[in-house]
């Protein structure tokens, strides 16, 4: 059964007995009558202002500042970033820093999309969090988003002292498409012989853009799951990667990177049991583990794709954010996290 074109959209028969009861209740109350983004014009989805319902409140930060970055390695407009700074005085060497990249399939989302997660990482991870407002497809397909996030990383490295940052303590993370871009940043740095990052925070990351229902068990099993059914993921991919030759490009699919995985930073990864992206995330984690790099993988039982953005509605979402905050705190303040 393919997805119908008009609401309501009840949970599919292949999912209804496997999905988390808390998610199912929220879905049936708040989402069942909403048109999925891949079945409506992009501009309609972008105008809604909410990528995923169910987010909790912002956490208190000392300051929130927007910056416009002039490029140094790529062509294009200035890149906007938002810096969340913790309350209080920084450590003597400066604040640790975490670059965090929003999700939305490289097509949706903006600098406001994951403010909640960013403020949690700032307040509870005691780090400056820099979120990136990268360009979106289809207007700006691959590799525009990669170049934009890379410019933000370079800016943090170059401006760290002026911003009172300790760039020897730098993490990077993101959700979904943002997790994809975070992993690519670590690999690009490693290609240059640099080990800039102390930690990767990867939530339901896209690791293999060649995956589909024919070659990937999670895609086949979860193709009708809510949040990110297979048809929606293909819709995102076709906008971001209109050239099929790019689907296995390592900067589109980090699973296919040919570099030395032992040069990559440790990772904390959360995946959903009912997510089409589960298997490729676990494959990437296994590559890290095989190379001797620690990767803590947390499978959220019964959860489809967008749980981390639903921390007010789902215990699993709140737990995922806590796992990231704890991992960031351990990486940046190891002596106090024993």
d(CA 313, CA 210): 32
Give residue-wise pLDDT tens across range 16-50: 999 999 999 999 999 999 999 999 999 999 987 77
Residues 6 or more apart from 66 whose CB is under 8 A from it? 80, 81, 82, 83, 111
Interhelix angle 144-159/177-191, rounded to 10 degrees, is: 60
Contacts 24+ apart (CB under 8 A), 291-296: 291/260, 291/261, 291/262, 291/264, 292/262, 293/261, 293/262, 293/264, 293/265, 293/266, 293/267, 294/266, 294/267, 295/266, 295/267, 295/268, 295/269, 296/267, 296/268, 296/269, 296/323, 296/327
- Of the pLDDT bands very low, low, confident and very high (cuts 50, 70, 90), residue 51 is confident
Residues 6 or more apart from 290 whose CB is under 8 A from it? 261
Give residue-wise pLDDT tens across range 165-183: 999 999 999 999 999 999 9
Note the pLDDT of residue 111. Answer: 94
Task: Find out whether 195 and 266 touch, Cβ atoms under 8 Å.
Answer: no
Q: Is the pLDDT of residue 338 over 60?
A: no
DSSP conformation class of 7: S
Query: In sequence order, what E strands does the chain have?
Result: 63-69, 79-85, 95-101, 128-133, 165-175, 199-203, 267-272, 295-300
What is the rounded average pLDDT for all residues in the chain?
96
- Of the pLDDT bands very low, low, confident and very high (cuts 50, 70, 90), residue 337 is low
Note the pLDDT of residue 336. Answer: 74
Task: Return the SS3 of 287.
Answer: helix
Q: Which of 290, 299, 235, 280 is nearest to 260 (CA)?
A: 290
Give residue-wise pLDDT tens across range 244-263: 999 999 999 999 999 999 99
Note the pLDDT of residue 3. Answer: 57
- Of the pLDDT bands very low, low, confident and very high (cuts 50, 70, 90), residue 150 is very high
d(CA 128, CA 90): 10
- Active-site residues, by number, are 176, 275, 305
| Mean pLDDT value across residues 271-286 | 98
Full-model pTM = 0.97
d(CA 104, CA 331): 27
Give residue-wise pLDDT tens across range 285-308: 999 999 999 999 999 999 999 999
Task: Find out whether 69 and 80 touch, Cβ atoms under 8 Å.
Answer: yes
Give residue-wise pLDDT tens across range 187-230: 999 999 999 999 999 999 999 999 999 999 999 999 999 999 99
Note the pLDDT of residue 48. Answer: 76
Q: Is the pLDDT of residue 91 over 80?
A: yes
**Maximum Cα–Cα distance across the chain:** 60
d(CA 144, CA 134): 8
- Of the pLDDT bands very low, low, confident and very high (cuts 50, 70, 90), residue 1 is very low
């Amino acid at each position: 059964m393919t997805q119908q074109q008009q609401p309501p959209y009840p949970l599919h028969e292949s999912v209804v007995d496997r999905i988390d009861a808390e998610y199912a209740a929220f879905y049936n109350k708040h989402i069942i009558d909403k048109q999925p983004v891949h079945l409506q014009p992009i501009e309609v989805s972008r105008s809604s202002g909410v990528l995923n319902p169910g987010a909790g409140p912002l956490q208190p930060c000392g300051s929130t500042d927007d910056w416009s970055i002039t490029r140094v390695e790529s062509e294009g407009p200035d890149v906007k970033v938002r810096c969340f700074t913790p309350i209080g005085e920084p450590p003597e060497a400066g604040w640790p820093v975490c670059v965090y990249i929003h999700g939305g399939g490289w097509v949706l989302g903006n600098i406001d999309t994951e403010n909640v997660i960013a403020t949690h990482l700032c307040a509870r991870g005691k780090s400056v969090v820099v979120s990136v407002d990268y360009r979106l497809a289809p207007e700006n397909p691959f590799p525009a988003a990669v170049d934009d996030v890379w410019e933000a990383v370079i800016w943090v490295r170059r401006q760290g002292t002026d911003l009172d940052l300790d760039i020897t303590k730098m993490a990077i993370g993101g959700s979904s498409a943002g997790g994809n871009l975070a992993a690519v940043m670590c690999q690009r740095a490693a290609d240059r012989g640099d080990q800039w990052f102390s930690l990767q925070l990867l939530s339901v990351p896209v690791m293999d853009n060649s995956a589909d229902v024919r070659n990937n068990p999670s895609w086949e099993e979860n193709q009708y799951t809510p949040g990110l059914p297979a048809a929606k993921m293909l819709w995102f991919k076709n906008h971001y990667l209109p050239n099929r030759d790019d689907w296995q490009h390592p900067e589109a699919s980090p699973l296919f990177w040919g570099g030395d995985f032992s040069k990559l930073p440790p990772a904390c990864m959360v995946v959903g049991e009912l997510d089409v992206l589960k298997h490729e995330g676990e494959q990437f984690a296994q590559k890290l583990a095989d190379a001797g790099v620690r990767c803590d993988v947390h499978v959220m039982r019964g959860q489809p794709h967008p749980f981390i953005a639903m921390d007010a509605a789902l215990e699993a979402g709140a737990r995922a954010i806590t796992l990231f905050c704890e991992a960031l705190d351990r990486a940046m303040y190891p002596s106090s996290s024993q």
